[in-house]
Amino acid sequence: MTPSRDQLHWMYRNMVTSRRLEEAIAKIYLEGKTPVFNMANGPIPGEMHLSDGQEPVAVGVCAHLTAEDVVTATHRPHHQAIAKGVDLDRMVAEIFGKATGPSGGRGGHMHIFDPAVNFACSGIIAQGMGPAVGAALSRKVQGKPGVAVAFVGEGAVNQGGWHEAMNLAALWKLPFICVIEDNAWGISVAKAAATSVPRNDVRAAAYGIPGHHVEDNDPYAIFEVAGEAVARARAGEGPTLIEVETYRLAGHFMGDAEAYRPEGEKDGLFAKDPIPKMRWRMLTDGTATETELDAIEVESAERVDAAIKFARESADPAPEDALTSVFAA
Amino acid sequence: MTPSRDQLHWMYRNMVTSRRLEEAIAKIYLEGKTPVFNMANGPIPGEMHLSDGQEPVAVGVCAHLTAEDVVTATHRPHHQAIAKGVDLDRMVAEIFGKATGPSGGRGGHMHIFDPAVNFACSGIIAQGMGPAVGAALSRKVQGKPGVAVAFVGEGAVNQGGWHEAMNLAALWKLPFICVIEDNAWGISVAKAAATSVPRNDVRAAAYGIPGHHVEDNDPYAIFEVAGEAVARARAGEGPTLIEVETYRLAGHFMGDAEAYRPEGEKDGLFAKDPIPKMRWRMLTDGTATETELDAIEVESAERVDAAIKFARESADPAPEDALTSVFAA
Amino acid sequence: MNKTNERKLTIARAMAEAVAQELRVDPRVFVMGEDIGALGGVYGNTRGLLEEFGAERIRDTPISETAFIGAAVGAAQDGMRPVVELMFVDFFGVCFDAIYNMMAKNTYFSGGSFKVPMVLMTSTGGGYSDGGQHSQCVYGTFAHLPGMKVVAPSNAYDAKGLMTAAMRDDSPVVYMYHKGLQGMGWLGTEPGATVHVPEESYALEIGKAKVVRDGTDVTVVSLGMGVHHAMKAAKELQEQGVSAEVIDLVSLVPLDRDTIRASVAKTGRLIVVDEDYMSYGVSGEIIASVTEHDISVLKAPPKRVAFPDVPIPFARVMEQFCLPNPDKIVAAWAGMQAA
Amino acid sequence: MNKTNERKLTIARAMAEAVAQELRVDPRVFVMGEDIGALGGVYGNTRGLLEEFGAERIRDTPISETAFIGAAVGAAQDGMRPVVELMFVDFFGVCFDAIYNMMAKNTYFSGGSFKVPMVLMTSTGGGYSDGGQHSQCVYGTFAHLPGMKVVAPSNAYDAKGLMTAAMRDDSPVVYMYHKGLQGMGWLGTEPGATVHVPEESYALEIGKAKVVRDGTDVTVVSLGMGVHHAMKAAKELQEQGVSAEVIDLVSLVPLDRDTIRASVAKTGRLIVVDEDYMSYGVSGEIIASVTEHDISVLKAPPKRVAFPDVPIPFARVMEQFCLPNPDKIVAAWAGMQAA
Ligand SMILES: Cc1ncc(C[n+]2csc(CCOP(=O)(O)OP(=O)(O)O)c2C)c(N)n1
Ligand SMILES: Cc1ncc(C[n+]2csc(CCOP(=O)(O)OP(=O)(O)O)c2C)c(N)n1
Ligand SMILES: [Mg+2]
Ligand SMILES: [Mg+2]
């Protein structure tokens, strides 16, 4: 399964949009945080986990999904949210903690929810596994279409909840896919220092389901294995496990000095930045022209700028609204 | 690796002792609980999980262990406690809730602890995994000898804590063995209704360690694979996963009507009772004489009777001692 | 409440009936948990459901509480109305993240755009020597953390009405039923919990305490099993000429502070009876709720009859020593007089 | 306590120093947790340890809290003295069984024949907009369940002495340090927490509250960050001619009720300041502990300044609206006068 020209352009557009957003956030995040870096300050306070470099996973998978499919993401959710079609204005407003965010500022960047495209995320490692499996169960039991995808980091695979959910999904043959973004690090702990096997796709054997491994952050290869997995899920054949080797081009969170990284590692990663790589490939194989890609880049940047403008101009929530929405209205 | 004559006699003795104990408990448990079955009543109140039929696993593994090795057991711990050498008098006293129990009655049958032989158990599924891995870590870090074995049921393998502990043990190459007693049921839920793979030994692949499967509750085969695993652990080569197909000849707990069992299943199991089977095998291959085995049986029964007498004659704890031993003295 | 004619049901049957009635009319409802299918629940509260509704809607699960409670959250967010069982509340430690950090918070985190209409039913309580990992209440633990309603019936009538209400609620409800009240003989059931239950479906309002006995001298506040202790103590006190008012909290979240305060304003004395651990729990909260409101009404310091701050011992004599009982309530009254 | 000469340390450095000193003299001690090695702990409290003690004793773990806390229990029972870190207390839900049902209970379950000498250190608190799964205190949750000591330092001197004491204790100690007091600039640290710390090793007695400010008109009880709010409020009240006594609980379990009661007996008024959720938690317990003892000393109903019963919102204006602060304490005093 190879992506169509349209799909490729869609993928590229979403990768670029995501990257532009992260770049913009990285800059704005530092506003008010100099000279003293204090997370509490500035227009975007709190922890900030950027997804630079991990865009191929999001787009390669979400290219196969519609709004009706379900995605649960992690503490590092922006690229997936964008690829899943979460409303960008409102999402950025939530990241800024504004009243116009989908959660009215209650959630923040680790708690972006958009029911229109069935997107949710959360800040606890592997926490999205259960809900994704449950959504898949919901569809199966009700005979409704849709697959559910849980994105997790490679570090999450060693969390108990991950195992339980995999077993449940496989046992009940649910339309579920677990996509592992292996960016080689869980904060400062290298994969090899945390995971007893080199590749997590072998863990699929523990559930009797197919496991795939994608090397080198390749959006085309991701598109292909994800396509198979989604087709399998839609056909009622049960879950799939996919691990993708990706790169974390940013620190774990904003402010991370990354002293734990071996020297030169980051340079090597930047040299393999998937966005210029994909651009080059499309130009080379003729699936896009410079003009087209330039346009995509300009439009993406404008889209991000507009979202940031929307967020900046949005009002703060009323402080006392902190006390509302605890229970369903 | 085949068991020596002495080892065989030791194994048979412990199997029979365990069975005699369970038979005795089953009877005493009902005292005071007729005509109305109320768990609160009688000399042994509370839940009671008997191990009838699962003795081969305990003896096949513990034949390779010394007092210095560590065992963590489950809510169904009697056979393992006996095979590990827990003081029988005091253990039975604890089951009766007497002051002479190792916990002075605070623990009960799911919380039997004996530091002299490094034995512990607990009532939460898969809870013993972490402590066994931690004991293995303790030995490795301190350069002290000893392996740690966690016994769990096949139902426990789907619990998140099981997975986390396996990964940790494999990652750190600890002298740890997980022994799964697959008695085909987790209370009323059949293995196939809970576990996405037919055999849990395949899950060893998820941790890059050896996995073994033993069929048909065979104490000789258990002895063999456990011997290998213990040798491996002692040699510093890391953990092993063993799943043993065993039989639960009793209900999940006392009072379980087992209506969920397919018709005839129990009869089939009783026909394969491992104790007469082992007796027959030893007599046939000449590793024991009738006289020897008769003596073992008599002695085992006497040992159990003595322990029960000790427990019955022991005093109840002082009620207000409930308030002591919360913190270390 | 204790109509002696008609239709006495155990709490177990009342719960199953409420669930069955919703299953019949609402296709979004399904039940999930360990041993809730063929076995009908260890405590009988799902008995008969598998037979009527089949294995798609009545799902036995692996021993994977994090996964299946997390899955219930996902299914609820996807428009279903799961009823899930955590077999013993003591097991919450293996899956509390899915409960308190996700089930309870996703409504808030999503600004209300995701709803999590699910019921988490779980058994509580001891008294039958099941040891320290199978006898707890941990009411305070659940009630302390925001985002989940928490109810605990003391009788079958309330059990049914609360279950129906919980299933119809658009927010997550933790439904804590006490093993000793279930009407399962093997748990030594309290007969007072088995009461008349109308056949037709009905819902109680969640968040209302009940004055289950009127009195003028002292207010005894409790929930679940404690209500029965309180009623027995009230009878004994009556023989001593003391008139005790008994309040069944029914719901811990929301907590009906008004009803408690009104009663204490009348009686001037407060005893809280709680089978959960004493400190940092229900008993402290009730006393604080009264005293922060108005201390002038109090004629004596409030008292608590609660489980001491120790793990629950197995041995019967020890466990009974620790548990609340009617005598301790009567003694608390006596202590108040002495003071 | 606030010696301005000499050796001011942050809590982070005080904790690391205490751990290092025990590591040097006690071969049974080791440290385990996520990012506690090369990174030195997200909150700096293990900085420098890997370099001095190596990777065998300073162990980074997988994101497997159930396994490594369970393993710490096993290692402790096997004679070691693990110090483990749960990075944010908010994560307790994935591993609470290992903590509350095993670490806390195995001493009791074994009748004291197994000891579990371990320290579980964990970060608490918000105020820097980290959202509802990274800003909680859940003090009440840990303090409610028996079998573990629970301490929470408000300054570096106590932090060091408590850590040493915790490591030497034969029972499990939960050590809750507040992110806003750590002295990590990126968390907007409270300067009052950075105080003189003697270089030599010393241990504080666990279970003693401290009167950190003498007063006669009102007792303000708090812990951790709340102590600093209370001290600031006391200064403001002083300007109003009101003399506030401030009590730093230091330890939630054991709880030093005597010190609190003695103070309220003197002042006649009680305000509890708690960053944890209001209901069923610390604030209720403190109020109940005072009022059940003696209501006659109270000149006004006690008050609480606590986090309302809602998940912690991300947006700064919302979070700050919910958090305790000095103004709210001053307002609570004013409210008492009005009543
Ligand atoms: C249960 C739990 N433990 C620890 C954390 C703290 N934490 C946040 S992100 C992270 C690393 C996650 O690594 P990985 O899953 O590989 O995702 P990545 O950050 O690399 O995208 C950790 C340990 C958490 N949020 N939840
Ligand atoms: C975490 C947890 N969930 C559920 C239970 C209730 N429970 C006790 S035994 C049991 C079945 C265990 O099955 P298995 O692990 O196969 O052991 P077996 O009883 O067959 O020996 C269950 C579900 C528990 N004790 N702990
Ligand atoms: Mg990672
Ligand atoms: Mg089993």
Q: Is B122 in the pocket of ligand 2 (CB under 6 A)?
A: no
D97, B195 Cβ separation under 8 angstroms: no
Ligand 2 atom with the shortest distance to the CA of B126:
1
For residue B320, count CB atoms less than 10 angstroms from its CB and return exposed for 0-12, middle for 13-18, buried for 19 or more. exposed
pLDDT at D338 over 90: no
A264 contacts: CB under 8 Å, gap ≥ 6: none
Say if A34 is an interface residue toward chain D (CB within 8 Å).
no
Per-residue pLDDT averaged across D15-22, rounded? 98
Q: Is D65 considered catalytic here?
A: yes
Token couple for C218:
């002292």
Compare all CA atoms of chain C with the CA of D257 and give the residue at the minimum distance.
C279
Chains contacting A (3 or more CB pairs within 8 Å): B, C, D
Mean pLDDT by 10 residues, chain C (339 residues): 73 98 98 97 97 98 98 98 98 98 98 98 97 98 98 98 98 98 88 96 98 98 98 98 98 98 98 98 98 96 98 98 98 87
CB count in 10 Å sphere of residue D196: 16
Dist. CA A302–CA A294, nearest whole Å: 12
Dist. CA D272–CA D282, nearest whole Å: 8
- Range B168-200 burial, b when 16+ CB lie within 10 A, else e: bbbbbbbbbbbbbbbbbbbbbbbbebbbbbebb
pLDDT at D4 over 70: no
pLDDT at A124 over 60: yes
**The pLDDT value given to residue B319:** 98
pLDDT at A56 over 50: yes
C188 contacts: CB under 8 Å, gap ≥ 6: B38, B39, B40, B41, C127, C128, C180
Dist. CA B50–CA B31, nearest whole Å: 16
Per CATH, is A5-307 categorized as 3.10.180.10?
no
Per-residue pLDDT averaged across D96-124, rounded? 98
- pLDDT tens for A206-227 read 999 999 999 999 999 999 999 9
**Which DSSP letter does residue D33 get?**
E
Q: Which residues of D touch A41 (CB under 8 A)?
A: 188
Task: Map residue B67 onto helix, strand or coil.
Answer: coil
The DSSP code sequence of B287-322 is: SS-HHHHHHHHHHHHHHHHHHHHHHHHSPPPPGGGG
**The pLDDT value given to residue D186:** 85
Task: Map residue C54 onto helix, strand or coil.
Answer: helix
Strand B189-190 versus strand B185-186 pairing type = antiparallel
**The pLDDT value given to residue C1:** 46
Residue closest via CA to ligand 1's atom 21 equals A153
- pLDDT tens for D274-324 read 999 999 999 999 999 999 999 999 999 999 999 999 999 999 999 999 999
Residue A181 CA to ligand 3 centre (angstroms): 7
A248 contacts: CB under 8 Å, gap ≥ 6: A52, A53, A54, A183, A184, A185, A269
pLDDT at D1 over 80: no
Q: Tell me the CB-side half-sphere exposure of residue A323, using CA atoms within 13 A.
A: 8
Dist. CA D306–CA A307, nearest whole Å: 36
Q: Is D68 in the pocket of ligand 1 (CB under 6 A)?
A: no
Q: Which residues of A touch C77 (CB under 8 A)?
A: 120, 131, 134-135
For residue B284, count CB atoms less than 10 angstroms from its CB and return exposed for 0-12, middle for 13-18, buried for 19 or more. exposed
Per-residue pLDDT averaged across B13-25, rounded? 98
Q: Is A18 in the pocket of ligand 1 (CB under 6 A)?
A: no
Measured distance between the N- and C-terminal CA atoms of chain A, rounded to whole angstroms: 45
pLDDT at D121 over 70: yes
CB count in 10 Å sphere of residue D272: 33
Per-residue pLDDT averaged across A198-205, rounded? 98
Compare all CA atoms of chain C with the CA of A120 and give the residue at the minimum distance.
C110
- pLDDT tens for C32-68 read 999 999 999 999 999 999 999 999 999 999 999 999 9
What domains are there in chain D, each with its CATH number? 8-196 (3.40.50.970), 210-338 (3.40.50.920)
Token couple for B27:
């009877």
Q: Which residues of C touch A177 (CB under 8 A)?
A: none
The whole-chain average pLDDT of chain D stands at: 96
Compare all CA atoms of chain C with the CA of B195 and give the residue at the minimum distance.
C62
Tell if the CB–CB gap between D130 and A187 is shorter than 8 Å. Answer: no
In angstroms, the separation between the Cα of residue A160 and the nearest Cα of chain B is: 3
Q: Which residues of A touch D309 (CB under 8 A)?
A: 326
- pLDDT tens for A5-42 read 999 999 999 999 999 999 999 999 999 998 889 999 99
Residue C21 CA to ligand 2 centre (angstroms): 30
Q: Is A187 in the pocket of ligand 1 (CB under 6 A)?
A: yes
**The pLDDT value given to residue B182:** 98
Chains contacting C (3 or more CB pairs within 8 Å): A, B, D
Ligand 1 atom with the shortest distance to the CA of A54:
21
ipTM, two decimals, is 0.98
- Give backbone dihedrals phi and psi of B242, rounded to 5 degrees, phi first: -130, 125
Q: Is B227 in the pocket of ligand 2 (CB under 6 A)?
A: no
Task: Map residue C329 onto helix, strand or coil.
Answer: helix
**The pLDDT value given to residue B29:** 98
Where residue B34 falls among pLDDT bands split at 50, 70, 90?
A: confident
A103, A97 Cβ separation under 8 angstroms: no
**The pLDDT value given to residue C339:** 56
- pLDDT tens for A237-276 read 999 999 999 999 999 999 999 999 999 999 999 999 999 9
Token couple for C153:
């019936």
Say if C55 is an interface residue toward chain B (CB within 8 Å).
no
Say if C80 is an interface residue toward chain A (CB within 8 Å).
yes
Chain position carrying tokens 């439009």: A299
Q: Is B76 in the pocket of ligand 2 (CB under 6 A)?
A: yes
